[in-house]
Amino acid sequence: MRLDVVTIFPEYLDPLNVSLVGKARASGRLDVQVHDLREWTYDRHNTVDDTPYGGGPGMVMKTGPWGDALDSALADGYERGFGRPALIVPTPSGRPFTQELAVELSERPWLIFAPARYEGIDRRVVDEYATRMPVYEVSIGDYVLAGGEAAVLVVTEAVARLLPGVLGNAESHRDDSFAPGAMANLLEGPVYTKPPLWRGRDIPDVLLSGHHGKIARWRRDQALTRTSAHRPDLIERCAPAAFDKKDREMLSILGWAPDPEGAAHGRFWRRPPAVEE
Ligand code: JFE
């Protein structure tokens, strides 16, 4: 897979040389090209921004540098035969970036990222490239960053670990909490390793019992407890049939009850009162 990133802060992307993404690059599974947007400016001050039409606060990134930078990255990738590119534009007004979207992007041969700064990029740039290729405007969460570079790192890491041969067997992702199609999409419970006693704290007995059935049940109950506390929305949208009898027993202990009224509107459960962590 090829990744291009066009940015006014190329050094912000230095983490792409490290860890999993760095190894994917070193092994040839990933080809990352970071481009400095200011190379496509032609004035003394390397201007990439200007005042917004219609007034208002802040500055908007200019069409010219973005158009020339993206055309240059496109020409290079086409020359090297990378196939069909997709453009990814991080923005707080984008579609939510999910594991499902990470899987979709990981199946593409070539991603071009356009992380903005200031108040974002002149709309005409996105509209223009959307006539030539799929464009994904994505949000990595409901909080406001100062620019798109951190979102590029997030999306890149989520996508790179899905590429064939990037994760070792030991860290394989078939059990990912948010893997699309996983039964009932629960959060993962706690994990433990040696030593068995640390600062007076021991390991739950069941994990040392060797009873695989009991261990699986305990883990499932922990996952349900954690999901109930942190992501009740994940439980609310699951039909009661997605849970087995013991799951429903645990959910009942956690204060959940089937909601026959809500079921008609896709809300299957009555939420328990919120509890302090
Ligand atoms: C840019 C900015 C306009 C904030 C309403 C470029 N998930 C996510 N959060 N924040 C971003 C993505 C993001 C991405 C790119 C960005 C924020 N900003 C700041 C611009 C309106 C804003 O908040 C500039």
State pLDDT tens for residues 213-264.
999 999 999 999 999 999 999 999 999 999 999 999 999 999 999 999 999 9
Report how far ligand 1's centroid is from the alpha carbon of 184 (Å).
32
Q: Which of 161, 231, 267, 271 is catalytic?
A: 161
pLDDT at residue number 212: 98
User: What pTM, to 2 d.p., does this model score?
Assistant: 0.95
- Per-residue pLDDT at 145 exceeds 70: yes
Report how far ligand 1's centroid is from the alpha carbon of 28 (Å).
32
- Tell me if 140 is assigned to a ligand binding site: yes
- Tell me if 215 is assigned to a ligand binding site: no
d(CA 217, CA 117): 48
- Per-residue pLDDT at 115 exceeds 60: yes
pLDDT at residue number 26: 94
Known active-site residue 92: yes
Task: Tally the residues of the chain.
Answer: 277
Known active-site residue 161: yes
Does the C-beta of 151 come closer than 6 Å to ligand 1?
yes
Instruction: Give percent of the chain above pLDDT 90.
Output: 89
Are the C-beta atoms of 61 and 122 separated by less than 8 Å?
yes
Mean pLDDT of 30-52: 98
Report how far ligand 1's centroid is from the alpha carbon of 142 (Å).
10
Report how far ligand 1's centroid is from the alpha carbon of 92 (Å).
5
Average pLDDT, the chain: 94
- Tell me if 94 is assigned to a ligand binding site: no
Report how far ligand 1's centroid is from the alpha carbon of 131 (Å).
24
Q: pLDDT-based confidence at 183, cuts 50/70/90?
A: low
Q: CA distances (Å), 133 to each of 37, 67, 136, 177, 247, in order?
A: 20, 14, 10, 31, 45
| Candidate from 143, 145, 155 with most ligand 1 atoms within 8 A of CB, to mutate | 145
pLDDT at residue number 171: 72
Mean pLDDT of 135-139: 99
pLDDT in tens, 146-173: 999 999 999 999 999 999 999 987 777 7
Are the C-beta atoms of 37 and 47 separated by less than 8 Å?
no
pLDDT at residue number 172: 75
pLDDT at residue number 184: 66
Are the C-beta atoms of 180 and 41 separated by less than 8 Å?
no
Q: Which of 52, 92, 232, 240 is catalytic?
A: 92
Q: Which of 119, 188, 202, 233 is catalytic?
A: 119
Least confident of 54-58, 183-187, 232-236: 183-187
Question: Which residue's CA is the closest to the ligand 1 atom numbered 21?
Answer: 119
- Sign of the CA dihedral with 88 first, then 92, 95, and 96 last: positive
Q: pLDDT-based confidence at 85, cuts 50/70/90?
A: very high
Mean pLDDT of 173-177: 64
pLDDT in tens, 6-28: 999 999 999 999 999 999 999 99
Residue 183 or residue 67, greater confidence: 67
- Tell me if 144 is assigned to a ligand binding site: yes
Pair type for strands 269-270 and 257-258: antiparallel
